A and B are shown apart, each in its own frame.
Chain A
Amino acid sequence: MAGIKYDHVWKRFGEVTVLKDLNIDIPDGEFLVLVGPSGCGKSTALRCLAGLEEITDGNIFIGDRVVNDVPPKDRDIAMVFQSYALYPHMSVYDNMAFGLKLRKVAKTEIEKRVKEAAEMLSIGHLLDRKPKALSGGQRQRVALGRAIVRNPAVFLMDEPLSNLDAKLRVQTRAEISKLHNRLATTFIYVTHDQTEAMTMGSRIAVMRDGVLQQCDTPQMLYDHPSNMFVAGFIGSPSMNFFEARLDRSNGGMVVDVGGAFQVPVPASKFDMIGNYVGKNVYFGVRPEDVHDAKYVPVGVDSSARLTTNINVVEPMGSEIFAYIERGGKEFIGRFDPRSAARTGGNVEVVLDMDKMHIFDRDNEKALV
């Protein structure tokens, strides 16, 4: 049981800087997901915490203790690796008991803990097998079990689901969440998959090129991304972006998308972007905020109407993804499944401007 704190952490490999001034404060019992594209430094951040890499500058705290120079075995952590890293010559039981044996835990205690963890993960019948004789999902459970028996203060997981097939991944995702609720221990989870991040994390830290972009709850991250990168990374399909200009019009304000279309800005946003009138910005709108005009949900202001050409329609059953285009700008809408939109036809769409996003053209920071 312990919180974690990254305090101005830097990590360099020779000339390459992998972590740039990382600051995250993780309270005890939180499920924090580190997410970002490959090479963004998320795995390095985890390995630094595990003690597998030394940090170049700054401090890492586990609980109240600075662990910069503490060897991994004394950090009271357990780690689940992407490849599971099971010991191939040991049985499942020995794999799980290895860490406890090294710590000179009594034999009966080891047996009790291994049995308990195996029961929890329903792998009790596999204890005598070698990892070679297990399926991917079973190996993954053994790797989890090996971490559980150690009863560590912090669980570290490095893309533990990426070697599973899609169905098993969804199932195991839920089980890891359950495990977190049950153990009530701090979990740090690294993934490149934003769906995993959104579904599992109590908070998500989005990283890019070694820099922390934003660290917040999934809903905050989704509704209020702090910059264009986070806005584009979270959500699937990702947000539509347009190069645009803010202009005054008839006492109101409009977003002018380079000759393609103009949409009015709701009065509630004037304060935040008033300074940007007449300036170039990025305009962003999520696909689910682009509605078929015939099926606009209740409460959505439908004053921002556009007629668009439909390039492709992808019916998903529960909804329809429409790749639509106006004035040379293509974007995606998520329509009600009753929509009559067909490939090659036209459709009138409504943009939910209450949920629009405006980003600074120079530093891509969110303004709304």
Chain B
Amino acid sequence: MSATAMSKQAPRTRRNNIWGPIFVNVTLALICLLWTIPTLGLFASSFRARDDITNSGWWTTLPHQAYVPSGTITLPRQTPLDQPITIPDFNVTVTDDQLRSGFTLPDGRRIAWESRRQRTIAVQTSQISMNTNFTLDNYLSVLTGQTREPDGSVRADAGTNFSDPFLNSLAVAIPATVIPILLAAFAAYGFAWMRFPGRKILFAIVVALLVVPLQIALVPILRDYVGLQINGTFLAVWLAHTGFGLPLATYLLYNYISELPREILESAFIDGATPFTIFTRLILPLSTPALASFAIFQFLSVWNHRWRIPFHAAAADCLLLAATLLRPWPHGRFSQRLIQLRMTSYELQVESCFSYNS
């Protein structure tokens, strides 16, 4: 008897062990899906024609049930609209209101006014359809500043060319992420593991720098840049981002690096490693999670930063995406597809950073 009880017990515990991970993974997958849907929408919209974007949602690019025109009925022009209308083709009588909103026939088809004045009625069949009218026009427009008109002619719109600002943004954001991380990792290692006089005070000063608001420093830095004649250069932008990013980076990385087991570093020391080898061969690889987190953080903040625009705006060829989007729009209208494109490119890299981190 105890044997049967045991054999019953065993599979149950194993099944419990299976359900736990399944539940966790399914939940995570659902959350990820929910999280990516807006990005997918933006991505799909970026390939759609301007009119499609304004008339229907991006999800119509997916297979869905829709009424598709399958024929037209023309009634006599004089048919009165204030009394029931008999349609001989289908042998039904409907009112004007029903035709305005659409009337479903017993066989599933639908009839609705195509043109009330012309007295023409559209017959629609319900079927699975996809809106696959994809185009690269939006990309053309954003990358070259040219818009293709329906008649085939090409129009150039000043201020819609985003390729240069995009490249500029990359040229700023990538070095402005890499430089502070490298410097901060060095500093954090030094503060955490090397003994030198004044270590604690120096570290306290670095942490205290966290409270300095960016806005206070803008004008002094601008004046210094003008004095150094580097205003408006990439170097200036990198320096600014590095300076403002370093305190937080040092602090975050210090917390992580100081928690690494002491014995591992001592063992490497005895194995013959110099402090620099320990840094490159042990500290950096072991701190990857912390470095990646901060890289995302720093990249996003640099990519989106508007406060530092004064540095950039000084030179027209140093204009960044975030700044471009703040400028008055050509033709005084809000260009939705540009926003969508920009959002897509922005979100994609957020996604890729997150997937790298996990």
Interface residues of B in 20-64 (CB under 8 A from A): none
A161 located at the interface, meaning its Cβ lies under 8 Å from any Cβ of chain B in the complex: no
B351 located at the interface, meaning its Cβ lies under 8 Å from any Cβ of chain A in the complex: no
CB distance from B261 to the nearest CB of A (A): 7
| Residue ID in chain B nearest A89 by CB atoms | B285
A88 located at the interface, meaning its Cβ lies under 8 Å from any Cβ of chain B in the complex: yes
CB distance from A316 to the nearest CB of B (A): 34
Contact for A85 among B263, B277, B285, B286, CB less than 8 A:
B263
CB distance from A106 to the nearest CB of B (A): 16
Q: Are A85 and B266 in contact (CB-based, < 8 A)?
A: yes
Q: Are A102 and B282 in contact (CB-based, < 8 A)?
A: no
Q: Are B263 and A102 in contact (CB-based, < 8 A)?
A: no
| Residue ID in chain A nearest B260 by CB atoms | A88
- Which residues of A are found within 8 Å of B269, using beta-carbon distances? 52, 72-73
> A98 with B271: in contact, given A87-B264, A88-B286 (CB under 8 Å)?
yes
- Which residues of B are found within 8 Å of A50, using beta-carbon distances? 266, 270
Q: Are B277 and A102 in contact (CB-based, < 8 A)?
A: yes
> A98 with B285: in contact, given A73-B273, A83-B261 (CB under 8 Å)?
no
| Residue ID in chain B nearest A80 by CB atoms | B267
- Which residues of B are found within 8 Å of A276, using beta-carbon distances? none
B80 located at the interface, meaning its Cβ lies under 8 Å from any Cβ of chain A in the complex: no
Interface string of A19-63 (1 = CB under 8 A from B): 000000000000000000000000000000011100000000000
Q: Which of B271, B277, B282 has its CB near the most chain A CB atoms (within 10 A)?
A: B271
- Which residues of A are found within 8 Å of B285, using beta-carbon distances? 89
Q: With the chains together, A89 CA to B285 CA distance in Å? A: 7
B268 located at the interface, meaning its Cβ lies under 8 Å from any Cβ of chain A in the complex: yes
Contact for A77 among B261, B270, B277, CB less than 8 A:
B270
Interface of B is mostly: helix
> A72 with B263: in contact, given A88-B286, A89-B285, A89-B286 (CB under 8 Å)?
no
Interface string of A83-109 (1 = CB under 8 A from B): 101111100000000110011000000
> A73 with B267: in contact, given A85-B261, A87-B282, A102-B277 (CB under 8 Å)?
no
| Residue ID in chain B nearest A47 by CB atoms | B266
Q: Are A102 and B286 in contact (CB-based, < 8 A)?
A: no
A357 located at the interface, meaning its Cβ lies under 8 Å from any Cβ of chain B in the complex: no
Q: Are B263 and A83 in contact (CB-based, < 8 A)?
A: yes
- Which residues of A are found within 8 Å of B263, using beta-carbon distances? 81-83, 85
Q: Are B271 and A99 in contact (CB-based, < 8 A)?
A: yes
Q: Are A102 and B267 in contact (CB-based, < 8 A)?
A: no
B272 located at the interface, meaning its Cβ lies under 8 Å from any Cβ of chain A in the complex: yes
> A102 with B270: in contact, given A87-B282, A88-B286 (CB under 8 Å)?
no
Contact for A102 among B261, B264, B266, B271, CB less than 8 A:
B271
Contact for B270 among A78, A86, A87, CB less than 8 A:
A78
Number of A-B contacts (CB under 8 A): 53
Contact for A79 among B261, B267, B281, CB less than 8 A:
B267
CB distance from A27 to the nearest CB of B (A): 23
Q: Which of B269, B270, B277, B285 has its CB near the most chain A CB atoms (within 10 A)?
A: B270
Q: With the chains together, A98 CA to B264 CA distance in Å? A: 12
| Residue ID in chain B nearest A82 by CB atoms | B263
A115 located at the interface, meaning its Cβ lies under 8 Å from any Cβ of chain B in the complex: no
Q: With the chains together, A87 CA to B268 CA distance in Å? A: 9
Interface string of B253-292 (1 = CB under 8 A from A): 0000000010110111111110001000110011000000
Q: Are A99 and B272 in contact (CB-based, < 8 A)?
A: yes
CB distance from A76 to the nearest CB of B (A): 10
- Which residues of B are found within 8 Å of A99, using beta-carbon distances? 270-272
- Which residues of A are found within 8 Å of B286, using beta-carbon distances? 88-89
A150 located at the interface, meaning its Cβ lies under 8 Å from any Cβ of chain B in the complex: yes
| Residue ID in chain B nearest A84 by CB atoms | B263
CB distance from A240 to the nearest CB of B (A): 40
Q: Are B270 and A98 in contact (CB-based, < 8 A)?
A: no
- Which residues of B are found within 8 Å of A88, using beta-carbon distances? 264, 286
Q: Are A81 and B271 in contact (CB-based, < 8 A)?
A: no
- Which residues of A are found within 8 Å of B261, using beta-carbon distances? 83, 85
- Which residues of B are found within 8 Å of A85, using beta-carbon distances? 261, 263-264, 266-267
Q: Are B272 and A79 in contact (CB-based, < 8 A)?
A: no
Q: Are A81 and B273 in contact (CB-based, < 8 A)?
A: no
CB distance from B239 to the nearest CB of A (A): 33
Q: Are A98 and B266 in contact (CB-based, < 8 A)?
A: no
- Which residues of B are found within 8 Å of A89, using beta-carbon distances? 285-286
- Which residues of A are found within 8 Å of B272, using beta-carbon distances? 73, 99, 102-103
Q: Are A73 and B270 in contact (CB-based, < 8 A)?
A: yes
Q: With the chains together, A85 CA to B282 CA distance in Å? A: 12
- Which residues of B are found within 8 Å of A73, using beta-carbon distances? 269-273
| Residue ID in chain B nearest A52 by CB atoms | B266
- Which residues of A are found within 8 Å of B268, using beta-carbon distances? 87, 98
Q: With the chains together, A87 CA to B263 CA distance in Å? A: 10
- Which residues of B are found within 8 Å of A72, using beta-carbon distances? 269-270
Q: With the chains together, A52 CA to B286 CA distance in Å? A: 22
- Which residues of A are found within 8 Å of B282, using beta-carbon distances? 87
Interface residues of B in 276-329 (CB under 8 A from A): 277, 281-282, 285-286
Which B residues contact A (CB, under 8 angstroms)?
261, 263-264, 266-273, 277, 281-282, 285-286
Q: Can you list 17 pairs linking A and B with CB atoms under 8 Å apart? A: A52-B266, A52-B269, A52-B270, A73-B270, A78-B270, A79-B267, A81-B266, A82-B263, A85-B261, A86-B264, A88-B264, A98-B268, A99-B271, A99-B272, A102-B273, A102-B277, A150-B271
Supplied contacts A51-B270, A86-B264, 4 more A-B pairs, CB within 8 Å: A50-B270, A73-B271, A85-B263, A99-B270
